[in-house]
Amino acid sequence: MALARRSADYDWRSRLSIGARVVVAVVLALFATLLVTWIAERSELRWRHDLTAAQENTLNPATVRVLREMPRDIAVDVFFSAPEPPFHIVGREVQDRMRRLLRLAADQSGGRVAVEDHDLSDRTRLSPRTQARRQELGLAVIEPGGLVAVSSEGRRHVLRLRGDLADLDPGNADSRQGPVVPPRVAGFRGEEALLGAILKVSEGRTPIVVFTAGHGELDLDGPGERGAVLLARELKAQGFQVQSWNGARGTAFPAADIAVVLGADQRFTDAEFAELATFVDRGGRALVALGPRVVGGESSPEALLARFGAKSRDSGIVCMPMPSVSGGLQTGIPQCAYAVVGFEGMPAQNPITDPLRTADQRVMLFASRAFDRVAAPRGARVLDLLRSAPESWLEAPIDGTDRYDYAPENDTERTRYSLAMQVAFPPVRNPDATLPSSDPARAESRILAIGSADALANHLLVTNRDFVVNAFDWLASREYRVRVESTNRESRKLDLSDPVPVSRVHTVTVILLPGLCLCLGLLTLWLRRRST
């Protein structure tokens, strides 16, 4: 009555005025809401508390410091897909933890780390945005489980689920080989990997990689199978500056961090050879990948490697029997020239191969030469980096040609051959010598000898990308492994193989609790009816 009387007092002008005031108030309230949420996001006004028992949501102080002091903004693109069995459950656990970690990092950075999660659930219908980002980041292949790409101003670093983010233990599903053990996360290293990636893409330094040219090397602009345009692109994406040097034109070797000889099939001039050798002697870094044909001579790529302790064999290329359709091993086919190196052919605790071993990745070489150790500079550490399978043999070319029949003789030696070698030694001090461009205090010279230039060519780079990136990072001393302790969540798992606990939980959650609600509801209804 009172309301009706009051509303009768209002004419249309008053109503319009009140209505306008209400609208203004609502708009102001909306503005205030947005303002409050914006202010609350300011990192200086934010307070957060980790409620988990294992402090799972607390970043390592090293990570916090890096996030606070990093010179550039970082973009993190998450491309997680369904992991393959037997890791389909533990893989999801890792993905879940990584997403939470990225959220923490984004929050902690005060908006300087932008995380974008891409939906890969239906690979046939990816959103235009996802496709565009994949293209920008050069992610042609995304393996099961997926990856995280960390990028900044054209540089990027890819973290794979298995190997980079976590060590996954497949357990044992075969009861004949002992007790059945479910797959598990042996160690979650997401924070360490993320930190390393951020340091790498945000660093100010741009190491200079100089490729030799004019001796039949792979073409850095070549798009064909044996071109190296993908390598050049990859190095630029990894933050390297790529140049080439043709010493035959009389120019001096430029200031560089890494010299690369990629498949030269002609000798260097004596001056070029001396420049390269001196560069390495004085603390420079070099990657020398040989072609299948022996160049030979005192100023050849082989001689350059031999000078530092890795002597290539001149008697042919390393071949391996290939599995046939029937399951047996086959020889006499050109595919035998492909040497596939798995974890058993790589050393552990090595910055180049360790990530490949943990991720169960392989390196593929084509028509690779083999290496032997010879006298190395004083104090050198020489290591076999890639070793072929034990059934490998050295295939000599058919007399007078560059062709092979890939069929070993019965008495041909079958053994493991070294397909790549890693050499490091203290540099020779000489105040007159040209020092590498950016690091005058460089502690050691580093050489990487690879038996196959094809391993870095377009047709194998997609397969070998991680190996190549790790190799150049090692050569450039970009080892950003900030040690963050591997974290393992306390396992709180119900034993599903025992039906009793599951049945008890089922009884409580599906029968008792809903039953209690139903009984109380019926009792209320009955009481209500009785009272009326």
Partner 1 sequence: MRGWIAITRRELAGLFVGPLAWALLFIAVLLQGWLFVLYLKTSGGDVDLALRWTLGESWVFWALLILVPPLLTMRMISEESRTGILEFLLTAPVSDAAVVLGKFTAAVVFLGLLWSTAFLYGLAVSSLGIAPDWGALAGGWLGAVLCSALFSAIGLCASAMTSTPIVAAFGAIVLNLVFVTAPLLAGLSDQTWVRAAVARVDVIDHHKGSFLAGVLDTSYVAFFAAWTAFFVFVAVRAVEARRWR
Residue numbers 79-108 binding partner 1 by CB under 8 A: 89, 93, 96, 100, 103-104, 107
* CA distance between the termini of the chain: 29
173 part of the interface to partner 1, by CB under 8 A: no
Single residue of 3, 141, 325, 441 touching partner 1 by CB under 8 A: 3
**Minimal distance, residue 512 CB to partner 1, in Å:** 9
Nearer to partner 1 by Cβ, of 127 and 412: the residue is 127
Closest to 370 (Cα-Cα) out of 441, 315, 442: 315
10 part of the interface to partner 1, by CB under 8 A: yes
443 part of the interface to partner 1, by CB under 8 A: no
344 part of the interface to partner 1, by CB under 8 A: no
**Minimal distance, residue 328 CB to partner 1, in Å:** 39
Amino acid at 39: I
413 part of the interface to partner 1, by CB under 8 A: no
Single residue of 173, 398, 443, 510 touching partner 1 by CB under 8 A: 510
Q: Are 113 and 74 in contact (CB under 8 A)?
A: yes
Q: Are 420 and 385 in contact (CB under 8 A)?
A: yes
73 part of the interface to partner 1, by CB under 8 A: no
Q: Quote the CA–CA distance of 125 and 115 in Å, as a whole number.
A: 22
Helix axes 88-108, 190-202, angle to 10 degrees: 50
485 part of the interface to partner 1, by CB under 8 A: no
The set of long-range contacts for 393-401, using a CB threshold of 8 Å and a minimum separation of 24, is: 393/318, 393/319, 394/313, 394/315, 394/316, 394/317, 394/318, 394/319, 394/370, 395/316, 395/317, 395/318, 395/319, 395/336, 395/337, 396/315, 396/316, 397/316
* Interface with partner 1: number of residues (CB under 8 A): 72
Nearer to partner 1 by Cβ, of 182 and 216: the residue is 182
414 part of the interface to partner 1, by CB under 8 A: no
Nearer to partner 1 by Cβ, of 329 and 505: the residue is 505
Scanning 35-43, 208-216, 374-382, 466-474 for contacts with partner 1 by CB under 8 A, the matching segment is: 35-43
Single residue of 20, 132, 180, 329 touching partner 1 by CB under 8 A: 132
Closest to 79 (Cα-Cα) out of 34, 126, 47: 126
37 part of the interface to partner 1, by CB under 8 A: yes
324 part of the interface to partner 1, by CB under 8 A: no
Phi, psi of 408 (to 5 degrees): -75, 150
Nearer to partner 1 by Cβ, of 123 and 504: the residue is 504
Q: Are 424 and 380 in contact (CB under 8 A)?
A: yes
Phi, psi of 334 (to 5 degrees): -60, -25
**Minimal distance, residue 126 CB to partner 1, in Å:** 11
Phi, psi of 323 (to 5 degrees): -65, 135
Single residue of 13, 176, 429, 528 touching partner 1 by CB under 8 A: 528
Nearer to partner 1 by Cβ, of 36 and 329: the residue is 36
Which 49-68 residues touch partner 1, going by CB under 8 A? Answer: 49-54, 56-57
**Minimal distance, residue 20 CB to partner 1, in Å:** 12
141 part of the interface to partner 1, by CB under 8 A: no
- E strands, 299-370, are 310-312, 317-319, 322-323, 329-330, 338-341, 363-366
- In which residue are the tokens 């030979």 written? 296
Closest to 409 (Cα-Cα) out of 295, 311, 315: 315
123 part of the interface to partner 1, by CB under 8 A: no
27 part of the interface to partner 1, by CB under 8 A: no
Cis amide prior to 377 (ω within 30 degrees):
no
Q: Are 136 and 158 in contact (CB under 8 A)?
A: no
Which 182-241 residues touch partner 1, going by CB under 8 A? Answer: 182
**Minimal distance, residue 99 CB to partner 1, in Å:** 9
